[in-house]
């Protein structure tokens, strides 16, 4: 294989490796973002459940008046909306993470493909060099016999 082709493959391999490393960082950041959004969602859900338990205790004891019940209803409505919105954010982050993971897998495959091409080019060069050396040796041996 020509030196020019080897250089081209080598440059492409470096680019593929760089892209793979970039994707690894992006996947790590996306995974951190998913964890962060999941933590926010869990906090909202825990807050909702804790307030619901407190509401049920107060309601069972009969110590809530209409204004308190109305306040709790407003709170539960708002927090349900926040939970739904947070679930959407979390789902979007998970979808993005999944997409990035697929891109990373493809980047690994592409890098491996170019590594194989590089290895093949090296083997071809070695074979061509060995063949050339054998031809030179054969020519030298034939030249000696003719003299």
Q: What is the pLDDT of residue 3?
A: 65
- Give the model's pLDDT for residue 90: 96
Q: Do the domain assignments include residue 124?
A: no
Instruction: Look at 39-43, 88-92, 106-110, 124-128 and tell me which has the smallest mean pLDDT.
Output: 124-128
pTM of the model: 0.72
In a domain, 16, yes or no: yes
Cα dihedral 73, 78, 80, 83 sign? negative
At 147 the pLDDT is 62
In angstroms, the CA 59 to CA 61 distance is 5
- Flag whether 62 is in a domain: yes
CA separation for the pair 65, 51 (Å, rounded)? 16
User: Minimal CA–CA distance to 47: which of 76, 69, 86?
Assistant: 76
Which distant-in-sequence residues (6+ apart) come within 8 Å of 16 by Cβ?
Answer: 107, 110, 111, 114
CA 37 to chain centre: 17
What is the count of structural domains for the chain?
Answer: 1
In-domain check, residue 132: no
Query: Residue 86 has what pLDDT?
Result: 96
Judge whether residue 78 has pLDDT over 90: yes
Residue 10 lies in a domain: yes
Residue 86 lies in a domain: yes
Domain interval for residue 100 = 3-112
Whether 28 maps to a domain, the answer reads yes
Q: What is the pLDDT of residue 138?
A: 82
Is 35 a domain residue? Answer: yes
- What is the arithmetic mean of pLDDT over 40-47? 95
pLDDT at 124: 84
Q: State pLDDT tens for residues 91-110.
A: 999 999 999 999 999 999 99
Phi, psi for residue 137 in degrees, rounded to 5: -65, -40
Among 2-11, 39-48, 69-78, 131-140, the least confident range = 2-11
């Amino acid at each position: 294989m020509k030196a020019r082709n080897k250089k081209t493959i080598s440059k492409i391999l470096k680019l593929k490796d760089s892209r793979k490393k970039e994707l690894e960082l992006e996947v790590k950041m996306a995974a951190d973002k998913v964890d962060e959004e999941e933590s926010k969602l869990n906090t909202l859900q825990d807050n909702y459940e804790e307030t619901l338990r407190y509401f049920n205790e107060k309601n069972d004891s009969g110590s809530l008046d209409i204004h308190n019940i109305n306040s709790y209803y407003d709170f539960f409505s708002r927090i349900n909306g926040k939970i739904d919105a947070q679930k959407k954010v979390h789902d979007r982050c998970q979808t993005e993470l999944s997409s990035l993971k697929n891109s990373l897998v493809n980047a690994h495959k592409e890098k491996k493909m170019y590594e194989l091409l590089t290895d093949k080019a090296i083997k071809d060069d070695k074979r061509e060099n060995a063949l050339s050396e054998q031809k030179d040796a054969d020519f030298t041996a034939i030249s000696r016999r003719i003299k």
